Amino acid sequence: MKIGVNTWVWTSPFTTNEFDLIPKIKQMGFDVIEVALDDPALIDAELLRRMTEDNGLSITVCGAFGPTRDISSDDAAIRRNGADYIRAGIRFAETVGSTLFSGPVYSAVGKTRLVPEDEKKQEWAWCVENLREIGKVASDAGVTVGVEPLNRFESDMINLVEQALKLIDDVDHPAYKVHIDTFHANIEEKGIPQAIRLAGRKLGHFHACENDRGIPGTGHQDWNGIRDALKQVGYDGAIVIESFTPGAVEIAKAASIWRPLAPSQDELASGGARYLRGLLG
């Protein structure tokens, strides 16, 4: 398993101007840089690929799903825009050499409502329809699409691994796998190791986040149980630290980051890398 870190730890949006993060991330002991894809147009994809290769890093790509990128919206134009963004994310992943595009692809972050059952079924149907069409694009590009459950305060659609598996079964396309984020799972799942085992071979991506999104190993997550479950299901993908800086106002507001989560963002990343490296052996 390779250890990675998301660019949201330091900045949003990530642009070509922030490529100085690449050698720093390598020097901190990471194997993977996870690109938070706020806007593909702001990133020189070819240069990114060359620089990461030169620094011995591989890439994963994480999507950013604001209200205009919602494939389950009741607004057809928003659904089209959301599907177009996912396709663009897949093409970006292919260009930079990533085999993964992941995140809450099914809806918009922050979409939390109590709606009638028939409305929920319609939203689910729109989501399934869009993901089926996108599946061929992903397969042709050699890219896996991760479906990430979010906690109840960030989504009313998929909060559990069980629900993500149901969506993947309904879409019925091999391009899709489950993306577990331990911050969200700590709120929603009865136990994170059990959730990992439930995902099993359909686990396609993993965010290793402390319960407060601070430095992994400094909170109350069951890291030994998490490690054992990952090994039990044969997971061999990236283990990525995702957190956010209060300095990036829009993303901090969306993720409710109102205070520093570590003495510095560099310490959050480097301390997390050391802990996870020791944990995984």
What pTM did the predictor assign?
A: 0.97
Under 8 Å between Cβ of 72 and 107: yes
**Residue-level pLDDT at 247:** 79
Number of domains in the chain: 1
**Residue-level pLDDT at 281:** 87
**Residue-level pLDDT at 255:** 84
Under 8 Å between Cβ of 112 and 70: no
Q: Which long-range contacts (CB under 8 A, 24 or more apart) does 110-114 make?
A: 110/67, 110/154, 110/155, 110/254, 111/67, 111/70, 111/155, 111/156, 111/157, 112/152, 112/153, 112/154, 112/155, 112/156, 113/156, 114/156
Residue-level pLDDT, tens digit, the chain, 281 residues:
899 999 999 999 999 999 999 999 999 999 999 999 999 999 999 999 999 999 999 999 999 999 999 999 999 999 999 999 999 999 999 999 999 999 999 999 999 999 999 999 999 999 999 999 999 999 999 999 999 999 999 999 999 999 999 999 999 999 999 999 999 999 999 999 999 999 999 999 999 999 999 999 999 999 999 999 999 999 999 999 999 988 777 788 888 888 989 999 999 999 999 999 999 98
Q: Write the DSSP symbol of residue 155.
A: B
Length of the chain in terms of residues written? 281
Q: Strands, DSSP E only, in 195-275?
A: 203-207, 238-241
Proportion of the chain in helix, strand, coil states, percent, rounded to 5? 45, 15, 40
**Residue-level pLDDT at 246:** 83
Measured distance CA(123)–CA(82) in Å, rounded: 13
| Active-site entry in 148, 154, 188, 210 | 148
The CATH number given to whatever domain includes residue 188 is 3.20.20.150
Range of the domain at 126: 2-280
What count of other Cβ atoms lies within 10 Å of the Cβ of residue 183? 20
**Residue-level pLDDT at 156:** 98
Helices marked H in 142-264: 161-171, 182-188, 192-199, 223-232, 249-254
CA 198 to chain CA centroid, nearest Å: 19
Is 242 among the residues known to form the active site?
yes
Is 94 among the residues known to form the active site?
no
**Residue-level pLDDT at 250:** 79
Contacting residues for 272 by C-beta, under 8 A, at least 6 apart = 5, 208, 210, 215, 216, 217, 241
